[in-house]
Amino acid sequence: MVYQVIRRDLTETSRKCDFCPQYLTSLKAYVLRNVETGELSYAGPTCAKNKAGEHAISGIPDLTKFTLTTKINEREGGGGGNGGTSADNPEKRAIEYLILREHKLAEELKCSYSVLKDYYEKHSSQRLSESDISHINSIAAKAPDNLSPVTLQRIYNYLFWIDVAIKKLSPDKTEFLTNVRKTIVSKGKISDKQTSAINRWLENIDGVPQLK
């Protein structure tokens, strides 16, 4: 089977690598696509490289930028490096923006935009052209603060881990996280004060990391 690493994404500590028995303890996994079937698999860096090639995890879209890794030693299921920043890779930066705005957050934030949706659908079946990439990054650069690449990255990471935390808590202890989640979605931003308050809650929940 031929695999392609398509992005680095968030995952819970309870998830195992799809290619070996190791747990993905770093909370950051590589998502691989089976080129023949389109099926997606989650893997640590070693299995990702074994399946897709030594350099397969370099320069890929990274949706984990606002999640701090756990203190657990990163072995097979660990995160490893992200293969360079998005800033030095226009294609990577464009794809990250498409995935966040047209897939991960499109429904909840109501942030889909017809032009970007067309590009996302094209990206799903073929490689974007240089002019496509340039146009996407131009749209991202001109977007309002609540739809900027950094804001969307941050919101995606925060909502993911707030949802995990809520599931781990008893119903009588979820009010704060539920309310702050609603505020993040409605206002489309996260204040430094909210970050500190959220992290104070998350630090006491097993398997949930601190957020940047």
DSSP, collapsed to helix, strand or coil, labels residue 30 as strand
Between residues 93 and 54, which one has the greater pLDDT?
A: 93
pLDDT of 48: 97
Between residues 74 and 130, which one has the greater pLDDT?
A: 130
Burial 189-209 (b: 16+ CB within 10 A, else e): ebeeeebeebbebbeebeebb
Least confident range of 13-17, 54-58, 68-72: 68-72
pLDDT of 79: 37
Q: For residue range 88-139, what is the model confidence (pLDDT) as tens digits?
A: 799 999 999 999 999 999 999 999 999 999 999 999 889 999 999 999 999 9
Confidence of residue 181 (pLDDT cuts 50, 70, 90): very high
* Beta carbons of 33 and 51 less than 8 angstroms apart: no
pLDDT of 88: 77
* Beta carbons of 31 and 85 less than 8 angstroms apart: no
pLDDT of 86: 52
Q: What does the alpha-carbon distance between residue 7 and residue 63 come to, in Å, rounded to a whole number? A: 8
- Name the residue with tokens 């931003």: 189
